[in-house]
Amino acid sequence: MPRKSSPRTDSDCSRRDFLKTSTVAAGALAGGLGIGRAAHAAGDDTLKIGLVGCGGRGTGAAVNAMRADPNVKLVAMADAFEDRLKSSLTGLKKQMPDKVDVDDDHCYVGFDGYKHICDDKDIDVVLLATTPHFRPMQLKAAIDAGKHVFCEKPVAVDGPGIRSVLATAEEAKKKKLSLVSGLCWRYHTGTQEVMKRVVDGAIGDVMAVQSTYNTGTLWHRGRKEDDTEMAYQMRNWYYFAWLSGDHNCEQHVHSLDKASWAMNDQPPLKAWGLGGRQVRTDPKWGDIYDHHAVVYQYESGARVYSFCRQQAGCKSEVTDHFFGTKGHCDVLGGYQITGENPFKFRGTSPSMYDAEHVALFESIRSGQPINNGRYMAISTMLAVLGRMVNYTGQEITWEQAINTEEKLAPESYGWDVDPPTMPDENGRYPVAMPGVTKIV
């Protein structure tokens, strides 16, 4: 597949200026028309999308994006693996033939595809949905290049990554670019309604949060005969902490995000916890744990008790409970509050995956950028801190964790490069050992 992006003639700036001026002018003329639609009526205001990471979520996000606005086109795609890109493109073309306009010259395979998408002056919006490890560098490249971004969760796997995301989010603000996070519960109507009340004090001061994400096991994609170690780990990224952040980061971040929301997105002072790998003993499960329990302590005296487990045959539970001085909020169990100010959400919630893209494209059309950067970084950092306390067996402060120099990354990226975690002669990967593993 070709890997070079095509040259373009008009400048990014002039295109954006057009979008902005046509929006304002048409909006003024069209009165009741929504601003996006008004802009549409004014001429060629197609918003062009580039997708980075064409797996399950990336493909889904592309559909959500194409559904979100009447005048968008998917024009470029990048994935580490050619087969992932091809199957995603085939499926998308079938599902939305009128909105998919990706030719061979705009399909990029390998580690650097995102650079071509960011360099492509025709592209307005970049969807980032690779494995979490790559998010900080790809987000920075997209914002540096002046793109609006949809950014899947989690947004990093280590302290340096979080610091990079926070800096990039500030840059997006300065450039008036939209940065919408894939922490989708923030865009779910029932959750928004109940959380609004929690934040406004309906349950009083939040004293304790029980945050639970206990599920069974997930996929494993096996090892192909000609896989290098890097290719094997990239294919099975979930099981390598340097790529996924561990499952408390990759999956449980959704719950930690709601907990953080309830705490007004203020970081905790410190955390301690315990975790391990009881059933994930086979080397094929890489180096991540299968259970984590973490206690986060806040300045107010409040605590977040966080649990996540991925073990087959055990009780599954995905819930968020907030206990306050005036009541209790059960988010996923009916979006309800009991106590002094009872509430139960009785409306309907449209797809939160669609809603986050509707918000993104509306913000671009209206020239009123959304920036979810801070909360997506804080919520991800909660998960990273949780992994750090469990891997080391130590109590670690927020400041220590976010300022750590521990960078989970290889020297460079390439199929023949050694990943940061290598198997021993028996094929076993080194697993973090509480009490032995050190904070870097």
Ligand X SMILES: NC(=O)c1ccc[n+]([C@@H]2O[C@H](COP(=O)([O-])OP(=O)(O)OC[C@H]3O[C@@H](n4cnc5c(N)ncnc54)[C@H](O)[C@@H]3O)[C@@H](O)[C@H]2O)c1
Q: Smallest gap, in angstroms, from Cβ of residue 162 to ligand X? A: 15
Nearer to ligand X, 159 or 245 (CB): 245
Residues 121-160 that bind ligand X (CB under 6 A): 129-132, 134, 152-153
Is residue 288 near ligand X by the rule CB under 6 A? no
Tokens 């199929």 map to which residue? 415
Q: Which part of the chain contacts ligand X (CB under 6 A), choosing from 2-10, 50-58, 363-371, 397-405?
A: 50-58
Nearer to ligand X, 70 or 350 (CB): 350
Dihedral of alpha carbons 203, 204, 207, 211, sign: positive
Q: Smallest gap, in angstroms, from Cβ of residue 343 to ligand X? A: 25
Nearer to ligand X, 141 or 364 (CB): 141
Q: Smallest gap, in angstroms, from Cβ of residue 228 to ligand X? A: 14
Pick the closest to residue 329 from 249, 188, 248, 211 (CA basis): 211
Is residue 286 near ligand X by the rule CB under 6 A? no
Q: Smallest gap, in angstroms, from Cβ of residue 426 to ligand X? A: 27
Is residue 191 near ligand X by the rule CB under 6 A? no
Nearer to ligand X, 56 or 70 (CB): 56
Q: Smallest gap, in angstroms, from Cβ of residue 46 to ligand X? A: 24
Q: Which part of the chain contacts ligand X (CB under 6 A), choosing from 47-55, 163-171, 313-321, 330-338?
A: 47-55
Q: Which part of the chain contacts ligand X (CB under 6 A), choosing from 106-114, 206-214, 290-298, 343-351?
A: 106-114
Strand 47-52: give its sheet, edge to edge.
107-109, 72-79, 47-52, 125-128, 148-151, 179-181
Q: Would you say 142 and 118 are in contact if contact means Cβ atoms under 8 Å apart?
A: yes
Nearer to ligand X, 187 or 343 (CB): 187
Radius of gyration of the chain (CA): 22
Is residue 57 near ligand X by the rule CB under 6 A? yes
Q: Smallest gap, in angstroms, from Cβ of residue 54 to ligand X? A: 5
Residues 70-89 that bind ligand X (CB under 6 A): 78-81, 84
Residues 56, 333, 334, 350: which binds ligand X (CB under 6 A)? 56
Residue nearest ligand X (C-beta atom): 55
Nearer to ligand X, 79 or 290 (CB): 79
Q: Which part of the chain contacts ligand X (CB under 6 A), choosing from 109-117, 279-287, 329-337, 363-371?
A: 109-117
Is residue 184 near ligand X by the rule CB under 6 A? yes
Six-digit token pair at 282? 């086979």
Q: Which part of the chain contacts ligand X (CB under 6 A), choosing from 54-62, 199-207, 336-344, 387-395?
A: 54-62
Q: Smallest gap, in angstroms, from Cβ of residue 400 to ligand X? A: 25
Query: Binding residues for ligand X, how many (CB under 6 A)?
Result: 25
Residues 26, 38, 42, 52: which binds ligand X (CB under 6 A)? 52
Interface ranges with ligand X (CB under 6 A): 52-58, 78-81, 84, 111, 113-114, 129-132, 134, 152-153, 182, 184, 250
